[in-house]
Every structure is written in C-alpha cells, then in structure tokens.
Amino acid sequence: MTSEQLNADLLKNFSPLDGLKRDNLAALARKVQLRELSPGQVLFKEGDTEKRTFYIASGILELIDQGKVVETIEGGTDPARNPVSPIFPRRFSARARDNVKFISIDADLLDVMLTWDQTGTYEVSELQGKGDDGGDDWMTMLLQTKAFHKIPPANIQAIFMRMQQINYNADDVVLKQGAEGDYFYVLTRGAAIVTRETPLSKEGIKLAELHVGDTFGEEALISDAKRNATVTMTADGSVMRLGKDDFKKLLNEPMLDWVDTDQAARIIQAGGQWLDVRLPSEFENHHLDGAINIPLYFIRLKISTLDKDKKYIVCCDTGRRSSAGAYILNERGYQAYVLRGGINKEQ
C-alpha cells in the first residue's frame, strides 16, 4: 500500500468536506494522505470498529456481504462523494477490484473539525497573528488528540474564542518556576525549553523541549500549586493562552476520569498499572503494591517509557497532583484515570 500527500482541491470533491471553510480544509489536507490499494486488497472487513472515514478517489471498490458483491463504488461518481460504509461496526467488507486510490481520515478528528467549523464564528486564520509561521498546525494538533475528543463541541468553540495570543522573543521567559499559575498555554510558533531548578542545579535541569502544538502550564492550574518549572523561548515565537478559570471549566473537567478504590482495583486486575506521581521520598515511605513512581515534574520527560496500550491509575496522597498527571497523560493519548481522594483517604 503506497501513499502520497494530497491537496485541498481533491478534498472538496467529497461530502461533507466540501462544506469546510478554506483554511480548515487546507489544515485537514495536511493531516491526511492519498493511499492506494492493489487489486484484491481489503480496505476493511465486516465487523471492523476502527473509526476511520474512507473516500474513494479513483478505481472501483467492492462491498461484500457473506462472500457476495452487493455494491461497487467507483471513484469520480456521485456515490463516491460520500464516505464508504460509514456505520460502525462495518456492515460489509470492502475489497479493491482494480487499483484504488482512497483517502483515510480519523473519524473522531473529522467530527471535531466539522463541529468546530460549523459552530465557530470565524476561520482559523483569525486566531493567528499575521505572518505567523506556525499557521494553524497548533490548532489541528490539539483537535486530533484523542483526549480533546472528550471535550463537548460548545467547549471547543469557547476555548478558541477565549484564547489570547502573546508574542515572545528568543530567551524570553514565558513562565517562571515558583510563580503562581494563572494561564494554560499552547505554543503556536517558535520553540521553547522546560527547565527545573534544584538545589544542585541553579541553572536548571532540562525536562523537555516544546514545539508548535505542545501545551504547558496545566499542572499548577489543576493542583492549585506554584509553577514547578520554567519555560523559556529558544526562538522567536508566540503562544495562545487560556485563563485558569476557563481552563478548569472548559478543558480540565471534561478530560479527567475519576475512579474509586473498587473501580481502580478492577482496572488493575484487568492489567492496569498504578502510577504514583509523588516525590521519590514520599513513594519510598509508603506506596501501593505494584505501583511505579514518576514524580509529576518529571512526567513529560519520562512519558515515553509508558505503554499506550496499558491503562494507568494515577495516584498521589490527595488526588490533586495525580489529577494533573492524568491530564498530561490523557492529553498525549494515554489511558489514564485518577484515584478519587488519593491513597491517604479512607476508602
């Protein structure tokens, strides 16, 4: 199976993509590819539940029910304007009769983009400062994260409406370790570095590099604590920021899944993993059996060591730090739950 990048003009041949605003259609075109099937190759099988939206650009695709061809879809015809067998689980299998070129789009991403496009009162370009090199990539990156799909469409509209753009020069400090948390940030242009000052390193330990589409600042907002790291621009750029109250109401609350002790135990028994985000000294003093320890301020640095196929129950002493940790995991595509009340609460 081969693939190639496509342009917005091709996407306009399909419904409901033809209804997207120009900038949003162009943003979607950068996220999908034109793929190819050889004769006899299967696109999907009956009963398939993977949430992908398919369009046929050229060639003939056969829909098969119990071994019989019940329908054919030929690229360039009216039936091909619509998604192929859009109901989940799939009612038919789909097989290429000849060389078929098709478009595959994450169905959740498409749904979120359509909702945003139709409920928004302006185009993506109006959220960008003129001349921004970052374009709308930051926005489509947010919209395509699995965690963002938990957020109600009305919230999505409100989030982008209430964000403010701030420009920075290289070496400017966006937020300082020890300061009060007041905003959630999305890097929309340029690059930045996250550092944490320690007694042994006044210059700061490097925790992460930030690029367009990356978010930061959520830990202090969720836990009502001071900033646990400093973010410094390494190139000229800009951010979009969302105030603390708006962040908690519109983003944080819909994104977190809370569980009690019994619910957590069932997840653990089914193969889940306790993830303790307290300091190592706290963890060594007392922790749940089988738990692993990644301190909250290290979670961005260590997140790649976690398994995206595993469910994590994030815990701390009260639930405050663990809710911040679970938010970060969920935002980056991991399956994370928060232990309600923490491990110090009598369950």
Set 264, 316, 329, 338: catalytic member: 316
Q: Is 316 a catalytic residue?
A: yes
Give CA separation, 51 vs 48, 85, 106, 265, in Å. 9, 11, 6, 29
CA distance 269 to 54: 37
Which is nearest to 152 in space by CA: 193, 191, 115, 122? 115
Region of 196 please: left (phi>0), alpha (psi -120 to 50) or beta: beta
Structure tokens at 8: 């917005």
Cis peptide before 16 (omega within 30 of 0): yes
CA distance 39 to 270: 41
CB atoms within 10 A of CB 178: 11
Give CA separation, 150 vs 15, 31, 46, 252, in Å. 24, 20, 27, 10
Active site positions, annotated: 316
